[in-house]
Structure 1
Amino acid sequence: MTLDDLRVFVAVCRAGSLSAVARDLNCTQSAVSQHVKRLERETGVSLLERQPRGVVPTAAGRVLCDAAADGIAGLDLALRRLEDLAKGEGGSVRIRTGGTTVRHFMAEAIVAFRRRYPKVSLELQTETSKRGCFEALLAGSLDLAWITIGGPVPGIEQRAVIDLPWVLAIQADDPLAARGHVDAADLTDIRLVRLPPNSTSGGRLDAALSDLGIRVGPHTGVADWDTALLLAELGLGHAVVPAMPGLPQPGADGPLRLVPIDGIAPLPVGWAVRRWDALTPLARAFADAVAHSCTQ
C-alpha cells in the first residue's frame, strides 16, 4: 500500500470512473485499476462495485476512502508548510538569550534576517540562566539558545561561534588607562564590578583568577555586562568584561577605556541546540547570520 495507491483510490471514488481518473493522470485505465487491486489484496476486502455507468465504493471502500482523504489532506497541508519553511515564506524561529546578547551579537543579523525573510516570525525570549535555556531546548519550546559554551550536557549540542578576550573597563583618567595592556596580576585587590559567580561567564572569570592566585577587592554585583560597563564609566569600580562586538576598540578615546588583559583564556560563546541536523532551514539560516555577523 503506497500513498499513490491511496491518492488514486480516493480520486476514483470521487470521480466514479476509472477511465476519467486515467485521463486526469495521463495513464492507462489498467494502471489505475492496478492501484485499486493492490489495496484490495492488502486489505482483503472488495473496495469498488462496478455499475453500468462507472464504479462506486463498497461499504469497506467508503471507510478507506474517508480515512485516506482526511490523511492525504493533512499530509498535503504539512508538505505545503514545509515548502514555505524551506523558502522562508512562513514559520517561526525561537531564540532564547539575554538582552546584552541581542544588542552586541545579534542586532545586525536580526535586521538582515528580517529583510530576507519578512514573513517569518522571529521570537526573542529573555533568559538569564543557561540551565533555563537547556530546559527549554529539551522541552522542545525553543530552536536556538545563545550561551557561554561549557562542558557537555546530555541531549544538547553546543557550537562555539566566537572567542571573546577579556578587557579591563576603566575611566579615562585611571592610571591603568594609559597602558596598552595589563597583566592578570594587575587585578589584585582592585574593586570589581562583576556578574554573579553563579553565572557561567562570572564563574569562568572567578575560576581563572583563582587558578592564578589572584584575589580581588570588594565588588559591586550586576546582572549584565552593559551595566558593568556603565558603572565602570561612572567610576564605581573596574569591570572585567569580554570584548563583545560593538564595544569601543582598546585604546580608543572616550570616557571609558578598554585595556586588554593578558593571562586569562578567552570566553567562548555561541549556540546551543538539541540537534544541529534537526534544525529547520530558517533556524539554521538565523544561526548562520549571527555567526557571520560576529566573525566580521
Structure 2
Amino acid sequence: MLDVRRLQVLRAVVTGGSVSAAATALGCTPSAVSQQVAALEKETGTALLERAGRGVRPTAAGHLLAEHAVVVERQLAEAGAALADLLAGRSGSLTVRYFATAGAALVAPAVAAFRREHPRVRLDLGMTDPEDPLRDVLGGGADLALVVRPHRSEHRGLRLVHLLDDPYRAVLPKGHPLGTKRVLDLADLAGEPWVGSERPGPCLDAVLDACAAAGFRPGFAVDSEDYPTAQGFVAAGLGVALVPLLGLARPHPGVTVRKVRTPEPVRAIHAAVRDSARSRPVLAHLVTALRETAGGGAGSGEGGRGPRLSR
C-alpha cells in the first residue's frame, strides 16, 4: 500500500514544478521533500521525477501517481467532512423498533419532527419482537427500542429512558350501569366478566398488579391480545376491559370509556438504548424528539382531548 503522505509530497512537486516550490508549499525543507520522493520511488520501484532545466517534471509513473494523489486528497477531505457530520449528529443511520400503539401515537410524530431537523439521517423502522422486545437492542441489531418497563428493568449495558406514563381506562359496553359514573374505582369492576386486552408481559402485569392492590383478581371470560378486538368483544356485551389510553385513539362506537382510580393502572413507556451508544449525538437527538412528543401529549381516547403525558 502506498504511503499517502508521500503521494501528497509528489503531487506538490509536480504542481510546483520543483522541489523548492513544493517545500515552500508544504512548509518543510527541500531535503525533506527529496527524501519523501526518494522513498516513494523505492517503494514503487520506478523513477517518478526527471530533470527539466532548473526544475523537475514527472515521469509517466510520476504523473499517474500525482493524479491519484488528487483523488486521495479529495476522498480524505470528504471522509473528514463525513466524520464531522456523523460526530455532530448531522448524518448517519439509526435502527428503531417499537410496538404498535407507541408506533402510531409516539414514534410517527417524533420521527417526522426528527427528519425535519436531520434529513440526512437514515432510519430503519420496524416492530419489536413481542416475546423479547429488548433482544435487538442488547444484541446490537437496533439502536433504540420502545418498551414498557419490565419488572426486571436492570439489564447490563442497557439504559431505559422514561418517555411517558400511559394510564389505563375502563372500557364498558354502551348502556352499562357503571357508565353513569364519570370516574370508576377499580374495585367497581371486581364482579364483572373481563375481556383480556393484553398478552402476558409487563402490560398485563400492570393491570393485574393494580387489581391486586384493589383487592381482587379479574375473571377473564374472553382473551384477546389486541385493543381493537378487545373493544369489539366489550361492545358485544361479553365483558369489560382495561385498555391503555394510547390504545384508545379510535374508540369503538359501541363502548363507553371511563377513567379509573384507587389505583389507576399505568404502564410506563421507555426508550431502551445501549450504554455504548448513548454518546452518539444522532441517537440523543431522536430520544429528545421522542421525549418532546411524549411531553406534548400523544393520542386521545376521550372526546378528542389528548392526555397530559408525564416525562
TM-score by length of 2: 0.69
Matching of residues 12-23 of structure 1 within 5 Å: 12-17=9-14
Match of 1:103 in 2: 104
Name the SS of the counterpart of 1:218 in structure 2. strand
Deviates more, 1:237-246 or 1:144-153: 237-246
Please state if 1:32 is matched with 2:33.
no
User: How much has 1:174 moved relative to structure 2?
Assistant: 1.2
Matching of residues 71-220 of structure 1 within 5 Å: 76-85=77-86, 91-129=92-130, 131=132, 133-150=133-150, 151-196=153-198, 198-220=200-222
Report the CA distance shift for 1:139/1:50 in structure 2 as closer, same or farther (over 3 A).
same
Name the SS of the counterpart of 1:235 in structure 2. coil
User: How much has 1:117 moved relative to structure 2?
Assistant: 4.2
Q: What residue identity is the alignment partner of 2:246?
A: M
User: How much has 1:254 moved relative to structure 2?
Assistant: 7.9
Match of 1:271 in 2: 271
Match of 1:59 in 2: none
Name the SS of the counterpart of 2:216 in structure 1. coil
Match of 1:236 in 2: 238
Match of 2:308 in 1: none
Percent identity over paired residues: 22
Equivalents in 2 of 1:272, 1:211: separation in Å? 28
Report the CA distance shift for 1:33/1:134 in structure 2 as closer, same or farther (over 3 A).
farther
User: How much has 1:221 moved relative to structure 2?
Assistant: 2.2
Per-residue CA shift, 1:117-176, capped at 9, x if unaligned?
A: 445433221124262x32211222212100012311112110111112222111331111
Equivalents in 2 of 1:75, 1:235: separation in Å? 69
Q: What residue identity is the alignment partner of 1:28?
A: T
Match of 1:62 in 2: none
Answer yes or no: is the 8 Å Cα contact 2:235–2:254 preserved in 1. Answer: no
Q: What residue identity is the alignment partner of 2:7?
A: V
Report the CA distance shift for 1:74/1:19 in structure 2 as closer, same or farther (over 3 A).
closer
Report the CA distance shift for 1:8/1:35 in structure 2 as closer, same or farther (over 3 A).
farther
Match of 1:60 in 2: none
TM-score by length of 1: 0.72
Match of 1:3 in 2: none
Equivalents in 1 of 2:219, 2:138: separation in Å? 39
Name the SS of the counterpart of 2:246 in structure 1. coil
The Cα RMSD (Å) is 4.3
Q: What residue identity is the alignment partner of 2:189?
A: L
Structure 1 residue runs without a partner (length 5+)? 1-5, 57-64
Deviates more, 1:239-248 or 1:198-207: 239-248
Answer yes or no: is the 8 Å Cα contact 2:187–2:216 preserved in 1. Answer: yes
Report the CA distance shift for 1:19/1:145 in structure 2 as closer, same or farther (over 3 A).
same
Equivalents in 2 of 1:21, 1:177: separation in Å? 93
Equivalents in 2 of 1:35, 1:243: separation in Å? 76
Name the SS of the counterpart of 2:270 in structure 1. strand
Deviates more, 1:264-273 or 1:115-124: 115-124
Deviates more, 1:207-216 or 1:166-175: 207-216
Name the SS of the counterpart of 2:219 in structure 1. coil
Equivalents in 2 of 1:55, 1:89: separation in Å? 43
Q: Higher Cα Rg: structure 1 or 2? A: 2
Per-residue CA shift, 1:195-233, capped at 9, x if unaligned?
A: 455222112322332354312112322223343334334
Equivalents in 1 of 2:168, 2:108: separation in Å? 22
Report the CA distance shift for 1:181/1:227 in structure 2 as closer, same or farther (over 3 A).
same
Equivalents in 2 of 1:280, 1:161: separation in Å? 18
Per-residue CA shift, 1:226-265, capped at 9, x if unaligned?
A: 433343344332121222286489xxx9843232233145
Match of 1:61 in 2: none
Name the SS of the counterpart of 1:32 in structure 2. coil
Report the CA distance shift for 1:236/1:77 in structure 2 as closer, same or farther (over 3 A).
farther
Q: How many residues align?
A: 276
Equivalents in 2 of 1:94, 1:7: separation in Å? 35
Answer yes or no: is the 8 Å Cα contact 2:198–2:224 preserved in 1. Answer: yes
